């Protein structure tokens, strides 16, 4: 359990950087470890309508398990059209999600996160990028939208996550998709995450094995 405190704290900090309200519809772009952790944090804070966009069917299933209300595969549907359709009755506040978390680290993911927002919505950049992304100023101007960066976590985030784990508000153990001994780190750890990443979320190294 302790091995999951750090990634969940990253997610907790990202959520804390937003003006999320309990009845908001939220978008999470990408269902890697951090995206899945964000889904769990959102659910623990009472957010019920969480749309996840993820091309991996396996990780999409993980997102459903952790509480996503809708999972969209962008290789099978037009994700933006679907998000707009799902939010067209957003309590009179306009079409689009109130908050979007970009965790994919791709230009397409960022474009979707910004386009899917309602007027004055907020996109949170959680990804680390290999090269600077392109930001369309029209997204900010026409919709008066906001963009927030988030990096790591604070001590208070760690404490909040430990409390959420202790009280059962977050139950993330199924994020650990494999446990391996130290001498298998390269073959069953690093290589597995590179070549077979759709099957894995977190691989735990058992130093006692």
Mean pLDDT of successive 10-residue stretches along the chain, which has 209 residues: 82 95 95 94 95 94 94 96 84 77 95 94 92 86 92 91 91 70 63 60 63
Helices and strands, counts by H and E, the chain: 8, 8
CA 104, CA 33: separation in Å to the nearest integer?
Answer: 10
pLDDT at 129: 87
CA 13, CA 171: separation in Å to the nearest integer?
Answer: 18
In-domain check, residue 168: no
pLDDT at 136: 85
In-domain check, residue 167: no
pLDDT at 48: 94
CA 42, CA 97: separation in Å to the nearest integer?
Answer: 14
How many Cα atoms sit within 13 Å of 194 on the Cβ side?
7
Sheet containing 25-29: which strands, arranged edge to edge?
70-72, 49-53, 25-29, 97-102, 117-125, 146-149
pLDDT at 92: 46
- In the chain, the number of structural domains is 2
Domain boundary among 134, 149, 164: 149
CA 73, CA 19: separation in Å to the nearest integer?
Answer: 27
pLDDT at 201: 67
pLDDT at 88: 82
Residues 53 and 138 reside in one and the same domain: yes
In-domain check, residue 117: yes
Q: Which tokens in the block code for residue 107?
A: 């230009």
Rg of the chain on CA atoms, in Å: 17
Structural domain boundaries enclosing 86: 2-149
Residues 122 and 204 reside in one and the same domain: no
pLDDT at 142: 85
């Amino acid at each position: 359990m302790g091995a999951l405190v750090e990634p969940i704290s990253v997610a907790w900090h990202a959520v804390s950087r937003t003006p999320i309200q309990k009845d908001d519809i939220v978008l999470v772009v990408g269902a890697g470890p951090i995206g899945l952790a964000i889904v769990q944090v959102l659910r623990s804070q009472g957010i019920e309508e969480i749309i996840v966009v993820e091309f991996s069917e396996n990780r999409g299933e993980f997102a459903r398990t952790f509480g996503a209300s809708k999972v969209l595969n962008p290789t099978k549907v037009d994700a933006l059209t679907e998000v707009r359709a799902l939010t067209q009755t957003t309590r009179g506040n306009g079409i689009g999600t109130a908050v979007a978390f970009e965790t994919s680290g791709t230009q397409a993911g960022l474009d979707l996160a910004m386009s899917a927002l309602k007027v004055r919505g907020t996109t949170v950049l959680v990804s680390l990028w290999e090269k600077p992304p392109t930001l369309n100023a029209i997204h900010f101007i026409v919709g008066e939208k906001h963009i927030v960066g988030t990096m790591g976590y604070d001590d208070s985030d760690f404490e909040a996550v430990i409390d959420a784990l202790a009280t059962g508000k977050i139950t993330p153990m199924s994020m650990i998709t494999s446990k391996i001994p130290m001498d298998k780190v390269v073959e069953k750890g690093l290589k597995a995450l590179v070549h077979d990443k759709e099957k894995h979320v977190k691989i735990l190294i058992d130093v006692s094995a």
